[in-house]
Structure 1
Amino acid sequence: MRGFQPHGEGYQAVLEPYEARVLLSLAEQLQQLLSDGLGGNPAADEALHRVLPDAYRNDDEAAREWRELSRRGLIERKSGFAATMTTGLATIAAGDGPAPLQLSEGEALDWMRAIGDLRLILADRLGIVVDGDEGGDDPPEAADLYRWLAWIQDDLVRALDGRR
């Protein structure tokens, strides 16, 4: 992947088809996990705990009320961020060589949010609690994926910051 650069009114990066396929798959998996969380799937609730933490850690009643009132809206917004990630990736994924991905500023912000959620879920699965943790004994590919997503997110932040 060649990083994001200001381009026209938005931003552009160049992705290889395999990179687009990985990002597309991750965004679709995040949407499915969020959808399962809406359905009350206990396994999804565990996986989403870092993405949808309790608003009140020391007050079970207030935390329950908050979940009842805001969880659906929060999940729907986060699913929308993941859906934004899928836009444009299918065409690149089906291609036979590197291709540009164009994002508006709003789409770039949605990408950053979705990547943040993906990194939180991966961090939880890797046993990463704070920056600097190495994680558990999961396959090294998961840790590589976590670092790659961090690089993409950082690149987007830098591109957005350079525009202002």
Structure 2
Amino acid sequence: MPGTFEPLPGGGASVALDDVEISIIRSLAVQLLELIGPGPAEDTPADPLAELFAEGPSEPPSDPVLKRLFPDAYSDPEQTPGNPHEAAEQRAHSAEFRRYTENDLRAGKRENALAVINALNALTADEGGLAVLELTPAESRRWLGALNDLRLAIGSRLEITDEDDTDDFYRLPDEDPRKPMVMAYLWLGGLQETLVSTLMP
């Protein structure tokens, strides 16, 4: 899957994608949307203020992917608090922070995933089966956020905690059931890296 982002004159980025690549990204973005779930005011769309003032959850998600996408703000996974009082204080701060920020974070991730899906749905392939996606700088940033979330989600399922962990994945045999997910993870990483480079001055 050789598609890489290239800068556009005047800003933004473009990438040529084939049908398979478009299908993979769209499918992953749809799955991400389903995982993140609807907004808190989904049942009361007639009240525009309901979501604005709705409080979010105070406990971290149980799903490991959502935990990766919405980590605690006041805890260091590499460091255990020195005493029970400090641990309880960290949990309280994290719960308070999560209550007032997670809804907005989820909304932003939903918007990014939807932007990806809508952009892919608008593409038309040429006779060779390739479609050229062109993004404005603002759209590029939305795509960058979505690509990062997709890689975090896949990395969580693969139990990748460090980028160095990916070295072994390059040597996976074809019959390994993780191989398709690994290939998608590595490919999305290449897309993400080249998209970042187009946003650099």
Q: Above 0.5 in TM-score?
A: yes
- Which of 56, 63, 69 matches 1:51? 69
Q: Which amino acid aligns with 1:159?
A: T
- Contact 2:115/2:143 (<8 A) preserved: yes
Q: Give deviations 1:20-49, integer Å, cap 9, x for gaps.
A: 111111111111111169697x97643211
Q: Which structure dedicates a bigger proportion of its chain to helix?
A: 1
Q: Deviations over 1:107-134 (max 9, x none)?
A: 1111111111111111111111111114
| 1:2 and 2:33 correspond | no
Q: Does the C-alpha gap of structure 1 residues 126 and 36 become closer, same or farther in structure 2, counting only changes over 3 Å?
A: farther
Residue in 2 that maps onto 1:152: 191
What stretches of structure 1 of length at least 5 have no aligned partner? none
Closer, same or farther: CA 73–87 of 1 in aligned 2, 3 Å: same
Q: 1:93 to 1:50 in 2, by over 3 A?
A: farther
SS at match of 1:129: coil
Shift of 1:92: 3.5
- Within the candidate set 114, 120, 139, 1:83 is matched to 114
Work out whether residues 61 and 67 of structure 2, in 8 Å CA contact, stay in contact via their aligned partners in 1: no
Amino acid of the structure 1 residue aligned with 2:144: M
Task: Give SS of 2:37's match.
Answer: helix
TM-score, normalization: structure 1?
Answer: 0.85
Q: Provide the secondary structure at the position in 2 that maps to 1:128.
A: coil
Tell me the residue number matched to 2:160: 128
Write the letter of the residue equivalent to 2:123. I
Greater shift, 128-137 or 101-110, is seen at: 128-137
Structure 2's unaligned 5+ residue stretches are 43-56, 76-86, 170-175
Aligned to 2:18: 16
Return the alpha-carbon distance in structure 1 between the equivalents of residues 62 and 29 of structure 2.
Answer: 15
Quote the offset at 1:153 in angstroms: 0.1
Partner Cα separation in structure 2 for residue 82 and residue 62 of structure 1: 29
SS at match of 2:134: strand
* Pairwise CA RMSD: 2.7
TM-score (norm 2): 0.71
Q: Deviations over 1:105-162 (max 9, x none)?
A: 011111111111111111111111111114797511111110000000001011222x
The percentage of aligned residue pairs carrying the same residue is: 31
Counterpart in the other structure of 2:80: none
Equivalent residue number for residue 74 of structure 1: 105
- Contact between 1:4 and 1:11, CA under 8 Å: does it hold in 2? yes
Pick the structure with greater CA Rg. Answer: 2
